[in-house]
Amino acid sequence: MIDFTTIDYLKNGNSKQIQAYKTLTQHNILGDLVEFDPILVGTIPIAIDIESSDLDIICYWKNKTKFIEKLHAAFGNKNNYTIRETVIDNRESIIASFRIGPFEFEIFGQNIPTQQQNAHLHMLIEHEILQLKGENFRLEIVKLKQKGYKTEPAFAFLLGLNGDPYAELLKYKI
């Protein structure tokens, strides 16, 4: 099983994963966020990304103001930097976006430990499903994503899950 709490696995991945590793390390992205227990999640870590996929990093903040200040200080000078506050799953959430080189970044923070956040849980479940179902299934997910499907709805479609794909995927038994 891959340890997704570090990015070491990216070094030996596909070309996009290797490029992501280089960008993340050269710009010390995770180092800048270390106090917020950052984890890279999403499609690039599990090799179901498409051309427009971004690098998603989840964070755990205990003090929202301190987290926002850190984002401004570390990334406020990056291309296309934006930050917003929203509510997701009845939780205050902070989302910062910016661009470095070939990658769009999205830094997502909630007052929930990163390993308990849905984005991390979804990725772990999706990774297990991909391991079980194999390369043809992975390619079908990528095709659906290229047609405009979001990741969890693509999995739900191929797995025949009904209802809210985000909630159903969390309940999926492998």
As a whole number of angstroms, the distance between CA 138 and CA 155 comes to 10
As a whole number, mean pLDDT of residues 73-86 equals 97
What pLDDT score does 173 carry?
Answer: 79
Quick check: 174 pLDDT over 80?
no
What pLDDT score does 89 carry?
Answer: 86
Please check whether residue 27 is in contact with residue 8, taking contact to mean a CB–CB distance below 8 angstroms.
Answer: no
pLDDT range class, residue 1, cuts 50, 70, 90: confident
What is the number of residues in the chain? 174
Quick check: 18 pLDDT over 80?
yes
Q: Nearest 5 degrees, angle CA 146-CA 58-CA 109? A: 120
Query: What pTM was computed for the model?
Result: 0.95
What pLDDT score does 91 carry?
Answer: 94
For residue range 29-61, list pLDDT tens digits in order: 999 999 999 999 999 999 999 999 999 999 999
